[in-house]
Copies of this chain bind each other. A is one copy, B any other.
Amino acid sequence: MRKVAVIGVGNTKFGVRNDVNLTELAFEAVKPSLEDAGVDTKDIQFMALGTIGAGAWYEEPLPAVVVAEYCGLTGAGLVRCEAACASGSAAFLTAYSAVASGQMDVAMAFGIEKMREVDTLTAVELIGRGGYYLWEFHNFGLTFPGYYALHATAHMAKYGTTEEDLAKVAVKNHKYGAMNPIAHLQNKITVDDVLSSMVIASPLKLYDCCPITDGASSIILASEEKVRELKIDTPIWVAGIGYSSGTANLSRRLSYASLEAGVAAGQMAYKTAGVRPDQIDVAEVHDCFTIAEIIAYEDLGFCKPGEGPKLVREGQNEIGGKIPVNVDGGLKAKGHPIGATGCSMIYELTRQLREEAVPRERQVPMKNYIGLAHNVGGTGHYCYVTILKR
């Protein structure tokens, strides 16, 4: 297989970005990624753009085309990728495959979402449609907090996980978010803050849920030949990608305490990369809700099934612990602009593996120089796991 590396990354400030339109937001990520890679717009042969809100929470129906025109990328091959909340990772796989296949030497994986042009209730409704639309959304009115409340309840019933365990995940992610200049939420919180916040879908409270965020992230990928030609200092190699899917219908899942697609995608990524879970230095996992982060620890083999809460209680998920997770704040505090999230995970891992995290207190000490990104679409309808290696 042809070797492919991440050679440039850019990420906008995440947050409520009513100060810019869609293409201006895109430019804020594209420009620094080109500068970081030391390439020009004309070098980008292909762009895979991850987004889900086109024609829904923002109006533009062909985001890839208008972003390409505004950023000077017209002429490149273009495709928009959707895998619900894993759309950014689907775009990354698509751009990676295009380069790895030998068709081209440089491609861009790009993710963007502008979710704050509609009000919160509309956003929650639109996101809710990304489960099993015709049955669960239409007939039962399930929204995403409702779905993940089912997962939390199942995990609690099976393993004795507590509301405090969930709260501690939020506290950790807000701690790192408060240190991260691009994070949406930059306030430190306490376990009490979480427990006393408004109940959204019991047992999940406001602070168990990620915010609704605008943002974009841009990743430039290149072949090994191009990496040499460009004399890239610190290429970050794509070691392996795993992917899987789950049933639309939740009643066909074996368990709510785990996401089958997450387990399968993780195992495939480890196998392809030739890496074990205990070799991962830093991980980005899909914490749209606090329970999702705990389930991810278990699905990815960072601990045994049911031992996620123990990992939290011991603080092994922080810098200095066994497996530092979401030290950029995660979806929970950095924010979750849906289509951008997968690329933004790669952005953070790239900067961590290059040992250039900002500020320095957020830099994870590297042993093996291996990072993992875990990005879930829907409630385990899609999952992509990407392993990077310096």
Residues of A at the B interface (CB closer than 8 Å) are 1-2, 46, 52, 54-56, 59-62, 64-66, 68-69, 73-84, 90, 93-94, 96-98, 100-103, 129-130, 132-134, 241, 243-249, 252, 261, 264, 272, 378, 381-382, 384
Contacts and interface: CB of A to CB of B under 8 A. Distances in A.
B75 A1 contact: no
20 contacts: A1-B101, A1-B103, A55-B55, A55-B129, A61-B133, A62-B248, A64-B82, A65-B84, A65-B245, A65-B381, A66-B134, A75-B244, A77-B245, A77-B384, A78-B245, A78-B382, A79-B82, A79-B83, A97-B97, A100-B102
Nearest to A245: B78
Nearest to A56: B55
A188 B84 CA distance: 44
A245 B381 CA distance: 31
B62 A77 contact: no
Nearest to A384: B77
Contacts of A90: 79
A241 B60 contact: no
A60 B298 CA distance: 31
B102 A83 contact: no
A13 to B, nearest CB: 23
Nearest to A128: B61
Contacts of A264: 75
Contacts of A133: 59-62, 66
B80 A252 contact: no
Given A78-B243, A80-B81, 7 more contacts: A55-B55, A75-B244, A79-B90, A93-B98, A94-B97, A97-B97, A103-B241
Given A46-B243, A77-B244, A243-B77, A61 B100 contact: no
